[in-house]
């Protein structure tokens, strides 16, 4: 059973010094995870249906509050509107403040009691000050977790600052198969943001485009170096050449640190050079992967999804306006690919492809 983790935290408001227990969230769940978990536990309910209905429930609650009603979901939560502000007299107008109107949410006693009875607590050691990278984005492509050799990588988080001249501190990008590069070209370094031109390490095989990022800081002149590791993998673009030829060379894609590619491009119909993306998404409900071609914008144009549940050859259709009418791929190791998508990429693995005619 998963535990609720907590650690002692210094209570700075008390003398003599005391400590308070502080819960440490394991992560953040949302509509997507809720839909998958409920559908897995109750297969009669479709995950897509649950995902589509959940925001509608929130919209309904919002409209009820706007109508001046209190919403009580029995044995769960109560929502009600409230106000904050100060008036000199009972007949004075309401203060003109953007934060006058508030929404309060309370958990029902039965709900809280059930959590208390079923939860198991796990004590963690006191927290050390560590650099924590919470997101990465290529500023040119506007895509998360992309290592673009011609772009600038933005890292955001906390406790990120380090002295660029300190040999014991810095930012390192490591290939998950091989290769390590300590970064040297920074546009800015602050506690909450770092901008750098990524120096991407060479790896053993062309399809090994997966990297890990770490940050080491030293908070005092003689302090101990402390390293934080970004929890997500970063991926650099791949190139498929001679796609205008009848028998182009195979290009490994959507792979990890293995000595052979999990997926390969075998051919396609291409009218001119184009940069696009290919993704594999885990369909938990149907226990399969869904492949599709995408343009270079999140939530942009996409080709039809192709379901895959075993090794084999598959044809992906291009999206509207694309110079790539189709790509033929070979799934070489479905089991390992599915595990990679699930374990390392939270159910969605995406590669950028530079598709070349010549």
pLDDT of residue 306: 98
DSSP 8-state class, residue 210: E
Give the pLDDT of residue 85: 86
Task: Give the pLDDT of residue 98.
Answer: 75
Cα 188 to Cα 154: distance, rounded to the nearest angstrom: 10
- pLDDT on residue 8: 86
Domain extent listing, the chain: 4-123, 132-235, 238-355
Give 10-residue mean pLDDT values along the chain (358 residues): 85 72 91 94 95 96 97 96 90 84 95 95 83 95 97 96 93 97 97 97 97 92 86 97 95 97 97 98 94 97 97 98 98 97 94 97
In this prediction, residue 30 carries a pLDDT of 93
CATH number of 132-235: 2.70.50.70
Give domain 4-123's CATH number out of 1.10.3720.10, 4.10.520.10, 3.30.70.580, 3.40.50.720: 4.10.520.10
pLDDT of amino acid 222: 74
Helices and strands in the chain: count of H runs, count of E runs: 4, 25
CA angle 353, 146, 166 (to 5 degrees): 140
In this prediction, residue 185 carries a pLDDT of 97
Predicted pLDDT of residue 159: 92
Element (H, E) at 292: strand 288-294
Phi and psi torsions of 96, nearest 5° = -85, 85
Q: Tell me which long-range contacts 71-76 makes (C-beta under 8 A, separation of at least 24).
A: 73/108, 74/108, 75/108, 75/110, 75/111, 76/107, 76/108, 76/111
Which pLDDT belongs to residue 113? 95
From CA 339, how far away is CA 327, in angstroms rounded?
Answer: 23
């Amino acid at each position: 059973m998963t535990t609720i983790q907590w650690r002692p935290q210094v209570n700075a408001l008390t003398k003599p010094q005391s400590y308070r227990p502080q819960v440490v969230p394991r992560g953040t769940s949302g509509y997507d995870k809720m839909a998958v978990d409920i559908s897995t536990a109750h297969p009669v309910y479709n995950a897509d249906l649950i995902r589509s209905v959940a925001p509608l429930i929130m919209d309904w609650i919002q409209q009820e509050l706007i109508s001046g009603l209190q919403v009580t979901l029995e044995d769960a939560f109560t929502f009600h509107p409230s106000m904050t502000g100060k008036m000199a007299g009972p007949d004075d107008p309401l203060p003109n403040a953007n934060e006058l109107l508030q929404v309060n949410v309370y958990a029902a006693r039965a709900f809280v009691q059930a959590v208390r009875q079923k939860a198991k607590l796990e004590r963690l050691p006191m927290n050390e000050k560590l650099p924590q990278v919470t997101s990465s984005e290529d500023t040119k492509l506007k895509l998360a977790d992309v290592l673009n050799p011609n772009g600038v990588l933005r890292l955001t988080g906390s406790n990120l600052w380090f002295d660029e001249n300190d040999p014991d501190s810095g930012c390192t990008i490591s290939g998950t198969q091989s290769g390590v590069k300590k970064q040297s070209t920074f546009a800015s370094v602050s506690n909450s943001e770092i901008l750098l031109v990524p120096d991407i390490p060479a790896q053993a095989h062309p399809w090994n485009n997966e990297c890990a990022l770490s940050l080491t800081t030293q908070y005092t002149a003689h302090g101990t170096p402390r390293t934080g590791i970004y929890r997500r993998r970063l991926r650099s673009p791949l190139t498929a050449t001679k796609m205008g030829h009848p028998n182009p060379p195979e290009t490994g894609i959507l792979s990890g640190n293995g000595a052979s590619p999990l997926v390969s491009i075998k051919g396609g119909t291409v009218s001119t050079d184009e940069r696009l993306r290919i993704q594999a998404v885990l369909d938990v409900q149907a226990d399969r992967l869904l492949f599709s071609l995408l343009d270079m914008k999140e939530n942009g144009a996409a080709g039809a999804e192709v379901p895959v549940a075993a090794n084999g050859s598959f044809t992906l259709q291009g999206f509207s306006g694309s110079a790539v009418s189709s790509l033929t791929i070979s799934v070489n190791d479905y089991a390992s690919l599915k595990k990679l998508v699930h374990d390392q990429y939270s159910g969605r693995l995406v590669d950028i492809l530079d598709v070349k005619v010549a």
